[in-house]
Chain A
Amino acid sequence: MVKPVLVIGGGIAGIQASLDLAEQNIPVYLVDKSPSIGGKMAQLDKTFPTLDCASCILTPKMSAVLRNKNIKLIMYSEVQEVKGRAGEFKVKILKKPTYVDWDKCTGCGSCVEKCPYKAPDEFNLGLTTRKAIYILFPQAVPRKAVIDAEHCVRLNPPPNLRERAKGRPLCGVCSMVCPAKAIDYDMKPEVIELEVAAIIVATGMELYDARNIPEYGYGKYDNVYTHLEFERLVSATGPTRGEIIRRSDKKHPKRIAWIQCVGSRDVRFNHYCSAFCCMAATKQAILAKEHMPEVDCTIYYMDIRAFGKGFNEFVERAKEEFGIKYIRGRVVRIDEDPDTKNLILTYEDTSTSYLKKDEYDMVVLAVAIRPNRVVPPLPLDLNEDGFIKLKDPYLDPVSTTVEGIFVAGVAAGAKDIPDSVTEASAAAARAALIAKGHLEEVVSLADGGGLDG
């Protein structure tokens, strides 16, 4: 008998693992805390080193997940509890209320259009706003609306309005315009209980809060961005429809600086290297050049980590074909010119050992990434950098310290898309064995103990 597998996290790693399992007829539950699968990759514009567009290669995978009858999506949900052992885990999942009955919602967007209340758009990292009822992004899978209870006046009326309403319900526009009658303001959180043979954790990453690094003025200076914000800024589906313009004056920057290792490789914050930022900066500088051939692009770095297939060639191309400048040196601080909102970088150019200053219109910070928090509820061990610990990195490089629970993608350490995808398939191989009842064989490669309970 074939038993189901639980995949936690629907980024590219979780998607690939789910597909690899489902395509061999193993039932999969794919849980994501967000209303759409896609993860970070869905927010990227193009991908290094081939510059193919992230959407073009990701959306077909996302719709393959949706179409596959063996995959059940459990969206807007988080795992609450895991008990049992490999072959028979008992899992409790908390499904947050979306206030929209997804069986009825067709994703037509009428509610979004008419909703009168706005909230920061998390998919675009707050660079723009969305409505209180929203579809995460146009290519979302599944394409369903969600009410953000915090910003919905009906669900969370501000005290002054509540007083005036005198007990009558407020707003209700979305419910009125929904042709499918899908809005349900009384929806409650729901607990789903599952029994699964194996679990793949692919919970990915979040960005380190750049505000913790005071010398770069992120959050204080208008024209300092994170690298992920810049991805949204160059993306055709982004808040500016791909126009690279400054927050302060909506003008095109003429000089852009990228600062690497912001919060990574820094003993004050995170020791590890975030692995993909050097290439992401190189890619973003090329994209800036493609959008605005006159723009001047400079990357401040410690080491250029061009270790993957085609990476070093990509950096050479950036230098030779696109004229992108690389300066080896740490930026000590950024100051803002209060009039122009330009940014003055003070840095040590290690090729001369002199302290120098340079002015830019826009600065992009390669902010460190951090694993999303999963412990607890998952009973896993973490390594000293906070990523999920592997039981035996050599003999079984996708197994966690709990038998039957595997890990893939950035959850196990910073990495790029190809490495995340490979790991996901590897984790699927292991999980498939347990799902098909070959637990002893899995154990033979990596002996370990189960859980109590």
Chain B
Amino acid sequence: MAEEVRIGVYICHCGFNIAGTVDVKAVAEYAKTLPNVVVSRDYLFMCSEPGQDLIREDIKKYKLNRIVVAACSPSMHEPTFRSVLESAGLNKYLFEMANIREHCSWVHSDKELATEKAKDLVRMAVAKARLLEPLEEKEIETSRNILVVGGGVAGMRAALELAHYGFEVYLIEKSPTLGGKAALVGYVEDDVKGSEIVGKMIKLISKNPRIHVFTNSELVEFKGFPGNFIAKIRVNPRYVNEKCTLCGDCIPACPVEVSNEYEFGLDKRKAIFYPYKGAYPPYYVIDSKVCTFCGECVKTCKHNAIDLEMKPQYLDLRIGALIIAAGYDPYEPPKGEYNYGIHNNVITLFQLERLLDPNGPTKGNLIIGGKVPRRIVFIQCVGSRNTTPNSKPYCSRMCCLTAIRNAIRIKEMYPDTDVIILYKDIMTYASDERLYEEAGKRLVKFLKFEEPPKVTITEEGLYIDVYEYTIQDEVRIPTDLVVLSTGMVPRHDLNELIAVTRVSCGGDGFLRELHLKLAPVESPTKGVYLAGAVTGPKNIMESIRMGSAAAVKAMTLLSAGKVSIEPLTAVVNEEICSGCGVCVSVCPYEAISIKEMDGDRLAHVEEALCMGCGTCTAACPSGAMQQRGFKDTQIKAQVLAVFGGG
């Protein structure tokens, strides 16, 4: 004899979020009339501690064995309420949630109708709750390996943090060197160079036996479940091995010359090259996209370090967690935007960084056409804040400060050079405001625009025309150099990573967090964490913090050595299953296989791999495939509850 079903129903006001549109008292009263409902209440915030206590006390007092909460989306608070059941000694899967916020109060305005709909939703939830069954979670051992994708400051920081903690870390980087964009920043502060910060981190990484670095490498396959992912890495050939001494003899021999991406096109490099001083690992590399494999370099190399026969290698790793720190691309203005790409004296902020770096192509001297520019004009928001038709809608966060910092530096180096910054809003937030103040003291001039300025090329040189907002007049500024403060955009190849890892991106094209505010380094997939500018524009400091933050999430997941698996998975009714295999073909997680059992062909679900998406249950022609927590009978009860007959 099954035990009597005793249901408690709780209607949340969510402040005004629900109570503003739904008559919560009426819904609570209504719920009392439903079969098996023993108690029904409403409360200001069900998720708060007193709200949770209400449920806990009722479970004891009324011997409740099913709980229904009508509140927000289960993606918000299902875990909260499940743990309430657990703490009251009830199996946490005896819980059902009716979403009367996102599905009701937030999308309706007519109070009466919204209240009726809320009642319907509650009735459906109660109908399903009646049929819920207790489910048990399984515990599975986890791997202590962690994969970090992206060798910029965020990824390097995460790797260091985790290696210190005792995990084995695989740090893979797509380009031939660790360091990312921060290595290419001239000065991040008066006396701190981007390459120094990166250099220090690289030194720590190279000395750490628990960090395994793979450059020229990509993640090509990723599957499994939190704590036990399987990752396939492709290590692309470098064509140069560890015998390389960086002597440089191969350079004159190489006949191929292309634009140098590490100097943002300010100079050229060969097909065989060393990215920049301090690049890691410290070996030359051949760019297979442009190399003709003529073999000239091989002939000149005295160290036998070049091997044109190298093939891609594949690495299969079992990993516990993945940290994605793949960074961003600098916005590249289309040819002609502000005359970029047409006139040599229109450059980007990134190019300016290279020009001011003592290791850069001009050894840190700002020489344009053989002269120190008499005037430099920065144009802000290039590619950002909907300024031009090609722009992104967001602010790129770091460009104002970067422009101002460089402006101050230029003023220090060349006091006679006039520096003007054309801006929409200056974004020197928090204590960075001090630098804005400093720039003013150093007579850097700031002009505000709303409509994008125009850069004109004349025989005498460059002019900028701008409608200045505060004087409300057209201003024409002759200038020797125009610096476009270009922002940050999602990596051009981010989609490949999205396809492999199944993380998702938001409307701005950057990766989406689990929760924008409270889970900024977690992805919606448990065990996959995000760090740095891959989720949107960040500065170096912020990216490094995210690296540490993502690391702590991985520590938390894996420090216990085991994880529990949600039991809301598909199960096969072996009596009915005919082994047709439809489920195998539709499963997106490769969790189902066909097994021979006593001569019968039967579907078999690998529970740890099943994500509970339900695709197989819908596809199964015989109804043999059922999903725990969403069985046909349970769903049918819900449908009947709303359309009658139930």
Chain A interface (Cβ within 8 Å of chain B)?
12, 16, 20, 23-25, 47, 49-50, 52-53, 55-57, 59-63, 66-67, 107, 138-143, 235-237, 242, 265, 267, 271-275, 303-313, 316, 328, 350-353, 383-385, 387, 393-395, 397-398, 413-415, 417-419, 421-430, 432-433, 436, 438, 441-442, 444-445
Cβ-defined contact, A60 with B556, below 8 A: no
Cβ-defined contact, B192 with A62, below 8 A: no
Contacts of B448 in A (CB 8 A): 328, 350
Known: A23-B556, A394-B197. A273 touches B393 (CB 8 A): no
Report the minimal beta-carbon distance from A356 to chain B, rounded to whole angstroms: 14
Contacts of B87 in A (CB 8 A): 67
Q: Can you list 20 residue pairs at the A/B interface with Cβ under 8 Å?
A: A16-B518, A53-B15, A59-B45, A60-B77, A67-B87, A235-B15, A242-B15, A272-B434, A305-B425, A309-B508, A309-B510, A309-B535, A309-B536, A309-B537, A311-B394, A312-B394, A418-B520, A438-B164, A444-B164, A445-B204
Residue B429, interface by CB 8 Å: yes
Cβ-defined contact, B517 with A47, below 8 A: yes
**In the complex, what distance in Å separates the CA atom of A56 from the CA atom of B45?**
8
Cβ-defined contact, A237 with B165, below 8 A: no
Contacts of A430 in B (CB 8 A): 161, 548
Cβ-defined contact, B518 with A63, below 8 A: no
Known: A25-B560, A57-B517. A138 touches B394 (CB 8 A): no
Contacts of B429 in A (CB 8 A): 273, 275, 305, 307, 414
Residue B526, interface by CB 8 Å: no
Report the minimal beta-carbon distance from A35 to chain B, rounded to whole angstroms: 13
**In the complex, what distance in Å separates the CA atom of A36 from the CA atom of B60?**
27
Residue B76, interface by CB 8 Å: yes
**In the complex, what distance in Å separates the CA atom of A16 from the CA atom of B519?**
10
Residue B317, interface by CB 8 Å: no
Cβ 8 A contact of A395, one of B197, B393, B536, B542? B197
Contacts of B189 in A (CB 8 A): 394
Residue B521, interface by CB 8 Å: yes
Known: A398-B548, A429-B549. 5 other contacts (CB 8 A): A50-B517, A66-B49, A143-B49, A265-B433, A425-B549
Known: A25-B560, A418-B516. A397 touches B80 (CB 8 A): no
Cβ-defined contact, A237 with B469, below 8 A: no
Cβ-defined contact, A303 with B548, below 8 A: no
Report the minimal beta-carbon distance from B50 to chain A, rounded to whole angstroms: 6
Cβ-defined contact, B397 with A398, below 8 A: no
Cβ 8 A contact of B50, one of A52, A107, A309, A313? A107
Closest 8 CB pairs of A and B: A236-B15, A425-B549, A426-B548, A441-B164, A139-B48, A303-B425, A429-B552, A24-B559
Cβ-defined contact, A419 with B49, below 8 A: no
**In the complex, what distance in Å separates the CA atom of A306 from the CA atom of B471?**
24
Cβ 8 A contact of A60, one of B47, B520, B555? B47
Cβ-defined contact, B47 with A56, below 8 A: yes
Cβ 8 A contact of A55, one of B48, B83, B544? B48
Residue B44, interface by CB 8 Å: yes
For chain B, residues 143 to 199, give those with C-beta under 8 angstroms from any C-beta of chain A: 160-161, 164-166, 188-189, 192, 197
**In the complex, what distance in Å separates the CA atom of A427 from the CA atom of B19?**
39
**In the complex, what distance in Å separates the CA atom of A352 from the CA atom of B469?**
8
Known: A305-B427, A308-B397. A62 touches B49 (CB 8 A): yes
Cβ-defined contact, A61 with B433, below 8 A: no
**In the complex, what distance in Å separates the CA atom of A24 from the CA atom of B549?**
14
Cβ-defined contact, B548 with A432, below 8 A: no
Residue B259, interface by CB 8 Å: no
Residue B200, interface by CB 8 Å: yes
Report the minimal beta-carbon distance from A240 to chain B, rounded to whole angstroms: 12
Cβ-defined contact, B516 with A309, below 8 A: yes
Contacts of A444 in B (CB 8 A): 164, 204
Cβ-defined contact, A415 with B545, below 8 A: no
Q: Residue of B at shortest CB range from A54?
A: B517
Residue B437, interface by CB 8 Å: yes
Contacts of B362 in A (CB 8 A): none
Report the minimal beta-carbon distance from A261 to chain B, rounded to whole angstroms: 10
Residue B313, interface by CB 8 Å: no
Cβ 8 A contact of B542, one of A235, A422, A442? A422
Contacts of B541 in A (CB 8 A): 393-394, 397
Residue B458, interface by CB 8 Å: no
Report the minimal beta-carbon distance from A365 to chain B, rounded to whole angstroms: 18
Complex interface bits, B377-413 against A, C-beta within 8 A gives 1, otherwise 0: 0000000111000000111010000000000000000
**In the complex, what distance in Å separates the CA atom of A20 from the CA atom of B469?**
48
Known: A139-B45, A139-B49. A394 touches B540 (CB 8 A): yes
Cβ-defined contact, A59 with B431, below 8 A: no
Cβ-defined contact, A50 with B516, below 8 A: yes
Residue B17, interface by CB 8 Å: yes
**In the complex, what distance in Å separates the CA atom of A398 from the CA atom of B545?**
7
Report the minimal beta-carbon distance from A326 to chain B, rounded to whole angstroms: 10
Contacts of A139 in B (CB 8 A): 45, 48-50
**In the complex, what distance in Å separates the CA atom of A385 from the CA atom of B435?**
13
**In the complex, what distance in Å separates the CA atom of A419 from the CA atom of B80?**
24
Report the minimal beta-carbon distance from B307 to chain A, rounded to whole angstroms: 35
Report the minimal beta-carbon distance from B602 to chain A, rounded to whole angstroms: 39
Cβ-defined contact, A415 with B430, below 8 A: yes
Contacts of A49 in B (CB 8 A): 516
Report the minimal beta-carbon distance from A143 to chain B, rounded to whole angstroms: 6
Q: Residue of B at shortest CB range from A431?
A: B552
Residue B553, interface by CB 8 Å: yes
Complex interface bits, B479-518 against A, C-beta within 8 A gives 1, otherwise 0: 0000000000000000000000000000010100001111
Known: A63-B52, A304-B425, A309-B536. A417 touches B518 (CB 8 A): yes
Cβ-defined contact, A307 with B397, below 8 A: yes
Residue B551, interface by CB 8 Å: yes
Known: A242-B15, A304-B425, A413-B430. A429 touches B394 (CB 8 A): no
Complex interface bits, B411-450 against A, C-beta within 8 A gives 1, otherwise 0: 0000000000000011111111110010000000000100
Report the minimal beta-carbon distance from B26 to chain A, rounded to whole angstroms: 18
**In the complex, what distance in Å separates the CA atom of A49 from the CA atom of B535?**
15
Contacts of B556 in A (CB 8 A): 20, 23-24
Contacts of B385 in A (CB 8 A): 306, 312
Known: A350-B470, A351-B472, A421-B517. A242 touches B16 (CB 8 A): yes
Cβ 8 A contact of A316, one of B393, B469, B547, B555? B393
Residue B14, interface by CB 8 Å: yes
**In the complex, what distance in Å separates the CA atom of A426 from the CA atom of B278?**
27
Report the minimal beta-carbon distance from A174 to chain B, rounded to whole angstroms: 19
Cβ-defined contact, A429 with B50, below 8 A: no
Cβ-defined contact, B520 with A422, below 8 A: yes
Residue B72, interface by CB 8 Å: yes
Residue B546, interface by CB 8 Å: yes
Known: A143-B50, A417-B518. A55 touches B552 (CB 8 A): no
**In the complex, what distance in Å separates the CA atom of A56 from the CA atom of B13?**
11
Cβ-defined contact, A425 with B548, below 8 A: yes
**In the complex, what distance in Å separates the CA atom of A311 from the CA atom of B472?**
27
Report the minimal beta-carbon distance from B356 to chain A, rounded to whole angstroms: 18
Cβ 8 A contact of A353, one of B15, B470, B519? B470
Contacts of A383 in B (CB 8 A): 431
Report the minimal beta-carbon distance from A140 to chain B, rounded to whole angstroms: 8
**In the complex, what distance in Å separates the CA atom of A49 from the CA atom of B556?**
28
Report the minimal beta-carbon distance from B458 to chain A, rounded to whole angstroms: 30
**In the complex, what distance in Å separates the CA atom of A49 from the CA atom of B508?**
14
Cβ-defined contact, B49 with A423, below 8 A: no
**In the complex, what distance in Å separates the CA atom of A436 from the CA atom of B555?**
12
Contacts of B188 in A (CB 8 A): 394
**In the complex, what distance in Å separates the CA atom of A384 from the CA atom of B425?**
25
Contacts of B161 in A (CB 8 A): 429-430, 433
Cβ-defined contact, B555 with A429, below 8 A: yes
Q: Residue of A at shortest CB range from B14?
A: A56
**In the complex, what distance in Å separates the CA atom of A421 from the CA atom of B516?**
10
Report the minimal beta-carbon distance from B527 to chain A, rounded to whole angstroms: 14
**In the complex, what distance in Å separates the CA atom of A140 from the CA atom of B521?**
27
Q: Residue of A at shortest CB range from B396?
A: A307
